[in-house]
Amino acid sequence: MEEKDKIATKINHPDHTIFWLKEGPNTFGSSDRNDFIFPEYVSGYAGIFFLKGNRVNIRTAESANITHNSASIDGCVIYEAGKSLLLEAPNLEFRVVNYDGKLGIEVKEQKRIA
């Protein structure tokens, strides 16, 4: 994917970023080889979001250290019927958001302690 295509798939806000999901697989992690480029403290390849209709699944890489309610996850449904799970990764939290029928991954960085 070209850089201009990646830029069109996200919106940056001061306190969060939204990556818009496309139907099918959407890779994520800190490497620029992913569809969604997360901050550098996330593993290079962290996993895949899979959008099918109005349902989003996640499959995570073992090294990703992604949790929900402090429990490690490796794969599950994270969005269905308007309900979204809040997921955590090192210094991040993220979830599926729905804006007028368009689904995206909202990523918020936690405050860094100086």
Domains of the chain listed by start with CATH number:
3-109 (2.60.200.20)
Write down the pTM of the prediction: 0.85
Determine the pLDDT at residue 93.
Answer: 94
Q: Where are the beta strands (DSSP E) in 1-91?
A: 10-12, 17-20, 24-29, 36-37, 47-52, 55-60, 67-68, 71-72, 75-80, 83-84, 87-89
Q: Per-residue pLDDT averaged across 12-28, rounded? A: 89
pLDDT tens-digit map of 29-75? 999 999 999 998 899 999 999 999 999 999 999 889 999 999 999 99
